[in-house]
Amino acid sequence: MLATLARVAIVRRSGLPRGPCSRRGLCTGRPQADTHNVMKPLEGVKILDLTRVLAGPFATMNLGDLGAEVIKVERPGAGDDTRTWGPPFVGTESTYFLSVNRNKKSIAVNIKDPNGVKIIKELAAICDVFVENYVPGKLSALGLGYADIDRIAPHIVYCSITGYGQTGPLSQRAGYDAVASAVSGLMHITGPEDGDPVRPGVAMTDLATGLYACGAIMAGLIQRYKTGKGLFIDCNLLSSQVACLTQVAANYLIARKEAKRWGTAHGSIVPYQAFKTKDGYLVVGAGNNLQFATVCKILNLPELIDDCKYKTNHLRVHNRKELIRILSARFEEAMTSEWLHRFEGSGVPYGPINNMKNVFAEPQVLHNGLIMEMKHPTVGKISVPGPAVRYSKFKMSEARPPPLLGQHTTYILKEVPRYDDRAISELLSTGVVTQHEVE
């Protein structure tokens, strides 16, 4: 379906008939054996990306991985906020920015200038998707809101990513991950049982919103394929994170049970947490009675298996403190490597708590191809986390490196809205756009 959508995008821009009844020449979507030459699902789809920081760039990066052409619009002289977030930097490039901006072209446009607004509208008319993460109303004030773009590009899938939604009492607040994770309750349930609330180690609210936006945009493209019309998509950090509270939220909504912090433990399963070893930590989860019995055998604590206090998960949860005290004492008797050896092949979920060095030395991480290498135009070879999903009929390889600020300005103006050299020169001289010259 998405491969077909890509063909539809190409057909639309060529001026040929489109829609569900105009299928001549479209990709059939049949399995093909040569994964190196197969078109990716979103090839032919153009995305105009006005997002900054993480949620939006993460969404568009994932779409770029699937073959979409992503045109990243940035402020001249400044660019995406994350270009200055550091250290660490490699050369003058922020590793934060490098982590979520592969497979994109950068055009530096001053959207506060009427000529900059004109450029954005001309690009939108030719693109399939428009993504932005401004406070509601801000782009409308510039003439770039959904109503403005819909008038000139009724085919557009317009995705707005905000902190709290388009309307409502909090809609005009700026949204950052840490604040949204606090308001949504995530921070309330994260941290040690008897300690303070803790911000998750990565911006999970931003990342979840980015994934929701990515899926919503692809759903929007399918909807457009069916109806021939674009649509508006409202994604926001608060809604994404509240939706991701899943069973914790259901515990309150259904049973009126208030949530609490459990550290590495689980409120409804015991044992399911990190245990300190002689030299580190091991996470072990026993989700059923058979797994609990296996854990007891590995720890040489067979007497716990038939103990009336621990025979069911319900009883283990009720007697959590005593059981965890017994298990913890045993885990501290041996090194992590010894426990890894003993649990191997047991059928019980287990694993060490790795630092970054160990994560990227983990054989399974290497086997899954999760280190993506690229050659950056100014700093040379860089490595970032690669795509999480693999496909049987095409490869997620040879990614383009994150762009320099305005690296593709002239190229995009020439190739997309077809500006001539004189028009581009005037825009450059007046500062409406800037071009980064790669040496």
Please, which residues bridge with residue 232 across strands?
158
3-state secondary structure the chain: CHHHHHHHHHHHHHCCCCCCCCCCCCCCCCCCCCCCCCCCCCCCCEEEEECCCCHHHHHHHHHHHCCCEEEEEECCCCCCHHHHCCCCEECCEEHHHHHCCCCEEEEEECCCCHHHHHHHHHHHHHCCEEEECCCCCHHHHCCCCHHHHHHHCCCCEEEEEECCCCCCCCCCCCCCHHHHHHHCCCHHHCCCCCCCCCCCCCCHHHHHHHHHHHHHHHHHHHHHHHHCCCEEEEEEHHHHHHHCCHHHHHHHHHHCCCCCCCCCCCCCCCCEEEEECCCCEEEEECCCHHHHHHHHHHCCCHHHCCCCCCCCHHHHHHCHHHHHHHHHHHHCCCCHHHHHHHHCCCCCCEEECCCHHHHCCCHHHHHCCCEEEEEECCCEEEEEECCCCCCCCCCCCCCCCCCCCCCCHHHHHHHCCCCCHHHHHHHHHCCCEECCCCC
**Neighbour count for residue 203 (Cβ, 10 Å):** 21
Q: Is 49 a catalytic residue?
A: no
Confirm if 273 and 192 have CB atoms less than 8 A apart: no
From the candidates 206, 234, 279, 306, give the one annotated as an active-site residue: 206
Give me the active site residues, please. 206
